[in-house]
Amino acid sequence: MRTLIYCLAISVVINKASLFIQNLEAAWYYNECALHATIAIWIWYAMSVVDRSRIAERSVLAMAIIWQSVDSVFSIVDWMYPNVAPHFLFPTLILFVAWLLHTACRKYEYKSDKINMGNVHFCLWSPKNTKSAMLSTVGKPFGSVAIYAYNKLWTYRWNSNSFDCYDIENPLSLLKNYTIIDSGVMESDEIYDALLSAMGTKAKRWQTLWTRSGCICTILPALKAMGKEFVPRWIEYVPSFYAQKLIRMKEK
């Protein structure tokens, strides 16, 4: 109910704000922008009431939020640069449609590997909140990558500001929240030292643009210790693309 009230209040405020704009042309463009923003707000509300286990539906709604937000900004650009903006509309639309088709048609169900004690395992976390769903609309539908090794889960958590490890008494409990991929690499002192050195690394850093997607950067020393085939390249530093790399390695 609180979320509903917030959405109603914000929608009313942004749509009535044009009453204070004296310039008619500016007011028209503002109303256009406010309309797209209002639609985005209510799509976000719809997403908040969809069951978090329905990753496919939530991913499509996340794409709709992204489009409405971009469209809202485009209204401002169109007002400021009327001769330039139309040239970007069609390419942007094509890109979005391709992106949407990828999000809607990609595979969402993946089978976890058997946990082999003594090996290093990757734990792929499915996006549960709105922000993580939006960040994982590219690549595979996973919001972050953690490591299970030495009877511990090495990871960031959305309610934590730093990289940490957690004792896992029952490894099978990880299957509730993660898709497990066995790396096939045995635990070693070098990997352990790399993970230990990453402890306390802050999640909100300028290197990751504060997207909370810095898990790959943080575990990079451990990935190097595991072997060059696990080292990410370019776009693979994005968790959903690194998950795609891992799944491709598994399927070979």
Note the pLDDT tens digit of each residue in 74-96: 777 777 777 877 777 788 889 99
* Average confidence (pLDDT) over 195-205: 84
Domain count, the chain: 2
pLDDT (tens digit, 9 = 90+) per residue, 43-55?
Answer: 989 888 888 888 8
Mean pLDDT of 196-200: 93
> Could you list the residue range(s) of the whole structural domain that residue 136 is in?
119-251
- Looking at the domain assignment, is residue 150 inside a domain? yes
- Residue 173 predicted with pLDDT over 80: yes
Q: Name the burial class of residue 109, with classes exposed (0-12), middle (13-18) and buried (19+) by CB atoms within 10 angstroms of its CB.
A: exposed
Asked if 150 and 225 count as a contact pair (C-beta separation under 8 A), the reply is no
Which residues sit opposite 154 in a β-bridge? 147, 165
By the 8 A CB rule, do 242 and 145 touch? yes
- Note whether 135 and 234 are same-domain residues: yes
Same domain, 242 and 178: yes
Residues sharing a CB contact under 8 Å with residue 157, sequence separation 6 or more, in sequence order: 164
- Residue 111 domain flag: no
- How far apart CA 100 and CA 237 sit, in angstroms, is 22
* pLDDT of 17 strictly over 80: yes
Q: Are 141 and 77 within one domain?
A: no
Listed in sequence order, the residues at least 6 apart from 137 whose beta carbon sits closer than 8 Å to its beta carbon are: 59, 62, 63, 66, 99, 103, 240
Shared domain check, 89 and 15: yes
Structural domain contains residue 84:
yes
**Predicted TM-score (pTM) of this structure:** 0.84
User: Does residue 142 share a domain with residue 65?
Assistant: no
Do 65 and 11 fall within a single domain? Answer: yes
Res 71 pLDDT > 90: no
Percentage with pLDDT > 90 across the chain? 45
- pLDDT confidence of residue 18: 80
pLDDT number for residue 202: 82
**pLDDT tens-digit map of 112-136:** 999 999 999 999 998 878 888 888 8
pLDDT over 70 (residue 158): no
Beta strands in the chain (DSSP E): 119-125, 144-149, 152-155, 164-167, 178-186
